[in-house]
Amino acid sequence: MAAKDKKEIEVLLEGLDISPKVASSSSRHLATVELIWPRPTLAAKTAVKTLSLHKGVMATTDWEWHKKILFKEDVEYRFGINVKITESLTSAFMDSFFRFFASSLFGIGGDIVEDLIPGPGGNAAAAPLEFARKKLAATKDPEIILEGGVTLLPSQLSDTLDIEIPLRTIKDAYAFTGPVGPKNNIKTKKLLSAAGTMMGRANIRINKLAH
């Protein structure tokens, strides 16, 4: 029988930048990174981080390993990495988000990791996040504005592999212009960017771990 195409890896977020068209000069966003089907018994592993951006750029050069790390996992055969970025977070959502987790049993300080295990009872692993979402239901959920991903094989991995993942818009974005005033309600609709337009990139590093 042929040996399994299997590697033990760690995945780190090395950088992120998004277009000023979808980020203000100073903004905070949620980044969701999914490790998709790393092995047959695990459908997905998800990490969520809160990121502060200045002019659309997050500098991680001064981050230590414990801030950059997303996953440490065995991967077998084909697997994927998917990145989603929310719109700029409102202060109300951020206050609720941190207040909940600061007082919860999880004590995870704004970074979240969950597993999704396939088969009967598989949703149980997502219970902490589902509970959090209900607690945060009073605030408007931030909208996902950018997404991108890559598919890999363990055999493609060297000791260190740096990947730049293009992030593309989820839907068309429009601007509405027209006269100001209660009686002037006729607006002109202008397409700013079509769905699928590249508006950012995420820099991911995969380190192969020696046994």
DSSP class of residue 22? S
Which run of H or of E encompasses 86?
strand 79-86
In a domain, 182, yes or no: yes
In a domain, 17, yes or no: yes
CATH number, domain with residue 116: 2.60.40.150
Instruction: Name the residue with higher pLDDT: 126 or 8.
Output: 8
pLDDT tens-digit series, residues 144-181:
889 999 999 998 888 999 999 999 988 777 666 666 55
Q: So what's the pLDDT on residue 108?
A: 43
Q: So what's the pLDDT on residue 78?
A: 92
Q: Provide the domain count of the chain.
A: 1
Distance of alpha carbon 39 from alpha carbon 164, whole angstroms: 23
Q: Which residue has the tokens 């960017």?
A: 193
Which run of H or of E encompasses 127?
helix 127-135
Instruction: Name the residue with higher pLDDT: 163 or 63.
Output: 163
Average pLDDT, rounded, for the chain: 74
Residues spanned by the domain of 151: 6-208
In a domain, 1, yes or no: no
How large is the average pLDDT for residues 133-153?
75
Instruction: Note if the pTM is more than 0.85.
Output: no
Q: So what's the pLDDT on residue 120?
A: 39
Q: What angle do CA 17, 21, 24 make, to 5 degrees?
A: 75
Q: Which residue has the tokens 């997905």?
A: 44
Percent of the chain whose pLDDT exceeds 70: 62
Query: 118 and 53 in contact (C-beta within 8 Å)?
Result: no
Query: 152 and 83 in contact (C-beta within 8 Å)?
Result: no
Q: Is 104 left (phi over 0), alpha (psi -120 to 50) or beta?
A: beta
